[in-house]
Amino acid sequence: MLFLIDSADLEGIKKCVEFFPIAGVTTNPTIISSANSDFKKLLYGIREIIGDDKMLHVQTTASEAEEIVREAEALKSLVGGNFYIKIPITEEGLKAIRICKSKGIGVTTTAIFTQQQALMASCAGADFVAPYINRLDNIVSDGVHVVEEIVELFKMQNMNTKVLAASFKTVEQVHKVSMTGAHSVTISPDLFSMLIYHPLTMYAIDAFDSDWESVYGNRKVSDLIK
Ligand code: E4P
């Protein structure tokens, strides 16, 4: 399972990279706009934090294939390293996926809401498809079920495309999606902390500390084995 950070907040990204097993960062125009800073500097900042090996997914704002490809080429040479252009699933987007792939540019097809959109993107050559879980749940659809069927479909049809599930609000959504066999998820820095939080864990650690202290005081394990 690959965990990616869905954010352009440099502090949040720094914290996640320090503590969690991170495979990369995803952004979209909304996420970039919420950082409200110089676009190029922001992308350089993210790349500097994550290094060249981790994936950086940046979304195009163009709607026509030729322009999408131009943006993809320019972004790839700007940010370098392990780069993916995020392209929304439209007719022009499908055309752009094929051209980008022929030029050796990694592609994530985004704004996926149905199984057939995912299959079409995969047939066009996308490396990842990004289905939007919480947005599906919000319209009384079932995001987890859609991901489940995409995963199954890719297996049945022998497709190489990976599922990069996106748009999460809860730990339960992440858990259920990971149970589908989805290859990767992209989540906010806050949700990373929530994924490992449990009050009983904190309770257990407090009890270990006070039991230890009652016998060894302030001395640590490292003090006792010198
Ligand atoms: C990531 O690729 C998506 O753009 C993102 O997860 C959408 O999330 P949202 O529904 O919280 O905006």
The string of pLDDT tens digits covering residues 165-198 is 999 999 999 999 999 999 999 999 999 999 999 9
CA of 167 to the centre of ligand 1 (A): 4
115-158, pLDDT tens digit by residue? 999 999 999 999 999 999 999 999 999 999 999 999 999 999 99
Residue type for 84, please?
Y
Q: What is the number of structural domains in the chain?
A: 2
The rounded distance, in Å, linking the Cα atoms of 127 and 154 is 12
CA of 7 to the centre of ligand 1 (A): 9
Taken in order 46, 48, 52, 54, is the CA torsion positive or negative?
negative
Closest CA to 144 of 111, 108, 181, 117: 181
Same domain, residue pair 66 and 174: yes
Range of the domain at 205: 196-226
Q: Is 169 a catalytic residue?
A: no
The rounded distance, in Å, linking the Cα atoms of 85 and 72 is 6
* pLDDT of 140: 94
Same domain, residue pair 16 and 48: yes
Catalytic residue of the set 86, 103, 169, 226: 86
Same domain, residue pair 208 and 180: no
For ligand 1, atom 4, name the residue with the nearest CA: 28
Same domain, residue pair 151 and 118: yes
21-65, pLDDT tens digit by residue? 999 999 999 999 999 999 999 999 999 999 999 999 999 999 999
The rounded distance, in Å, linking the Cα atoms of 31 and 47 is 16
Task: State the pTM of this model.
Answer: 0.96
* pLDDT of 142: 97
Same domain, residue pair 89 and 114: yes
